[in-house]
Amino acid sequence: MSGLAGNLRIDRKNFDTRNGESLVALLQQVQEKHNYLPEHVLRELACSRGLSLMEMYSVATFYKSFNLQPRGKHNIVACMGTACHVQGGEKVLEELSRMLGIKPGETSRDGEYSLDHVNCLGACALAPLVVVDGDYHGNMTAARVAALIKEKLREHKGQTAEALNQEIGQKAQSGCCCARLLAGEINSV
Amino acid sequence: MDALQTGMRSLPELLNLQQQLKKRREQQQNYLAVCGDTGCTAWGSQNIKGVFQKCLQQKGLDHITGLKFTGCLGLCESGPVVIVFPQGIFYQKVKESDIEEIVEQTLLQGKIVERLLYQDPLSGEKIIYAPEIPFYRKQERILLVNNWEIDPSSIEDYLALGGYSAFGSVLASMDSEYVIGEIKKSRLRGRGGAGFPTWQKWEECSEMAAAQKYIICNADEGDPGAFMDRSLLEGNPHSVLEGLIIGGFAVGATEGIIYVRAEYPTAVQKIRRALIQAHELGLLGENILGSGFSFNVSVSVGAGAFVCGETSALVASVEGRVGEPRQKPPHLAERGYNNCPTVINNVETLANIPSIISKGAEVYRRTGTEKSGGTKIFSLVGKVRNTGLVEVPLGVSLREIIFDIGGGIKGGKAFKAVQTGGPSGGCLPASMLDLPTDFDELKAAGSMMGSGGMIVLDEETCMVDLARYFLKFLNDESCGRCFTCREGLSRMLEMVEAITKGQSSMAEFALLKELAAVVKDSTMCGLGQTGANPVLSTIRYFAEEYRVHIEEGRCPAGVCRDLIQFQINTELCNGCGACRNKCPVEAIEGEAKAPHLIRAALCTKCGICLETCRYNAVIKL
């Protein structure tokens, strides 16, 4: 692990944060690299910067964009801005949560999906808004988001019927809600 | 145009380059503006741009007609938007399959593609030219107008329209005192929320004797429902940068920082590119244009904390610490970033600076009110017909914005209230529609200007639920330092949640009002001090709605889940089974072609059945 923290330098060409001193900027780099903040890196960074682990974690947990757990391969984000809220954003998030079998902030057991909500993405004309892997999907409703996620699941699980069946079996045992949904998909094939 | 390669070292070089670019632009008046803002991109404008490019090449038009992927063109509701210049023909909801026709008909034959025109919902009339659409006609677009003409990734576009002339004239003939005097005369007030006079901030900082001072652009646009700062940074980043450089000159700063929230990756990318361009051209760096003035700018990306919009918390965040506000004084002008004098201005405030300097304060302040000059950009969203960004002179009434520009309420519903000022603001009812949009007037009415979010609410919005939403937001975002904010907001949230569940009493309601007053009076920073506003303003204007929830156990708007029920009207239901198939919890039963039934014990009230039924048989009680 040595040198992990030492290798982190701010690229001055990006005119990004002065002197590489900002801890927030360093943590952002760590997260970009690992997609979360692994404990061993936080420990090493604390050591190299002369901070206590507590000080390190106080920054890492204060800001919403930092994750202390690995994120899924696919990120699903529901916007919870005011415009989204008054047009049913909360129901959309609930439906997402139900379909994926995870709460906002969590990652599915198979490491495929993470679900998050954000305060506002500033694309209020699209309200209610859901972002899947960086693609914006506007004018969502509980029913439309169900169709969208179904389609995404089908795309991502574009494997053989046999493998898919096996996976559904596993998911059903683990009580995952998307199992039922996928089972529905298989029946219709 | 050697300067584009080598950078400029003197003022005449800047003037010369601007002249040349202007001339070049005059020869290239034919272009298509394809909106590249987030909204239109979500509807596929990136692909539209690609197909246009190909189509123009195929027809051999690529040398005659330019293609600009612009910032927000305003009328997000009609996205993807394409405007054909020089005529200004406005095409809405353009699909990839429409492009060949636009090129064939409009560009080659000069004809209009009728079906892509905007249709006025009130008169039914089709409108050809963008400036004639009521949404635009009633605005005064000073900051946003250039979004139509500028490719945000091109500094040449900005220079050709006279960009950086204001900075040039500052360097040529003005000193700090003069610049601050102009800003004072212009009556510009900070657009971030509180409306503090900009000149006063600048003067305080400029009077500090220090070797190092900083100016920070606050692009931590955290108010949900507001996106004008994002659109300015994405649509015309150089205008913000020019304002920041002039501000740096006025206060005597040698470094500027742009603090952008992490949720705006495109804005971060655009402003970074703008910085590199300005550096390459010699508009940033050491001894700029041989004037002796040196100024550098860097970008600092936030990490997701609403409270960092508060200036002292913002400084803590830029320094890489936990973004907690601190007690003021000492003010930031005394002790800010790295303990040096610092001034913080909002994105929109800075975007106003170049036009004040170029036009002169006297001309600038003709727009606006007696106490605050200029225009304000509002993001008009929610249940309004024309969602989008609206720029109007300060002082225009709420009614003009919502009805004349916004086209009224979506779907023929009744107007109920407008929420302004984000979580710190409040809700104003129909009786306040003639209120002018002015910092002081809105505050007196129990709301505030905030950064300019304007969320329109109709009869189907529950005000108690909205108060709950904002309390939840603020409770999540409270940094937890002050006891009254940390505990007060969470107790208030509990109380309001109880009301939405029909589990409260009028005695508890009285306690809620008392607690709201305590939180307002006893917290340190703006988040807590204004945290009770959503509750207080909804109680002030919609007390009856609270009473009905508490005493009658009803939610008149049909939003609060514990107080509503879904049922199927057996006379209208033909047993098609669509709702039964879609119901995620299998709460609907019934034989095919026979009326269905919702089992209340299983129903989660998600509303999917109501949305699915084509026979209006599902009803909400």
Count Cβ–Cβ pairs < 8 Å, chain A vs chain B: 174
pLDDT class for A178, splitting at 50, 70, 90? Answer: very low
Residue A167, pLDDT score: 52
The alpha helices in B207-335, defined as continuous H runs, are 228-235, 237-251, 265-281, 311-318
Is the pLDDT assigned to residue B31 strictly greater than 50? Answer: yes
Highest mean pLDDT among A24-38, B25-39, B259-273, B343-357: B343-357
Give the tens place of pLDDT for each residue, B511-535: 999 999 999 999 999 999 999 999 9
Is the pLDDT assigned to residue B310 strictly greater than 70? Answer: yes
Residue A31, pLDDT score: 93
| Arithmetic mean of pLDDT, B345-369 | 96
Beta bridge mates, B392: B376
Domain boundaries, given as residue ranges, for chain B: 27-133, 155-364, 375-458, 463-552, 565-620
pLDDT class for A1, splitting at 50, 70, 90? Answer: very low
A58 touches chain B (CB under 8 A): yes
More confident residue, A181 or B339: B339
What is the amino acid identity at position B502? G
Lowest average pLDDT, out of A7-21, B25-39, B107-121, goes to A7-21
Nearest CA in chain A to B37: A123
Closest C-alpha among A98, A29, A109 to residue A69: A109
Burial bucket for residue B380 (CB in 10 Å: 0-12, 13-18, 19+) = buried
What is the amino acid identity at position A169? G
CATH code of the domain occupying B375-458 = 3.10.20.600
| Arithmetic mean of pLDDT, B32-50 | 93
CA–CA separation, A51 and A43 (whole Å): 9
HSE-CB of A162 using CA atoms within 13 angstroms: 0
Nearest CA in chain B to A23: B320
Residue A179, pLDDT score: 46
Task: Name the residue facing A86 among B77, B262, B383 (closest C-beta).
Answer: B383
- The verdict on a CB contact (< 8 Å) between A82 and B461 is no
The CATH architecture assigned to B463-552 reads Up-down Bundle (1.20)
Is the pLDDT assigned to residue A14 strictly greater than 50? Answer: no
| Arithmetic mean of pLDDT, B174-195 | 95
Residue B194, pLDDT score: 83
The CATH class for the domain spanning B27-133 reads alpha beta
Give the tens place of pLDDT for each residue, B220-267: 998 999 999 999 999 999 999 999 999 999 999 999 999 999 889 999
Share of chain B above pLDDT 70, in %: 99
Residues of B in Cβ contact (< 8 Å) with A136: 38, 41-42
Tell me the average pLDDT of chain B: 94
Is the pLDDT assigned to residue A119 strictly greater than 70? Answer: yes
ipTM of the complex: 0.92
Give the tens place of pLDDT for each residue, B439-481: 999 999 989 998 899 999 999 999 999 999 999 999 999 999 9
| HEC assignment per residue over B354-422 | HHHHHHCHHHHCCCECCCCECEEEEEEEECECCCEEEEEECCCEHHHHHHHHCCCEHHHCCEEEEEECH
Is the pLDDT assigned to residue A173 strictly greater than 70? Answer: no
- The verdict on a CB contact (< 8 Å) between B225 and A63 is no
Structure-block tokens of residue B189? 């007030």
CB environment A101-126: b (16+ within 10 A), e (fewer): bbebebbbeeeebbbbbbbbbbbbbb
- The verdict on a CB contact (< 8 Å) between A95 and B584 is yes
Is the pLDDT assigned to residue A6 strictly greater than 50? Answer: no
The CATH class for the domain spanning B155-364 reads alpha beta
The CATH class for the domain spanning B565-620 reads alpha beta
Structure-block tokens of residue B84? 């054909």
HSE-CB of B475 using CA atoms within 13 angstroms: 18
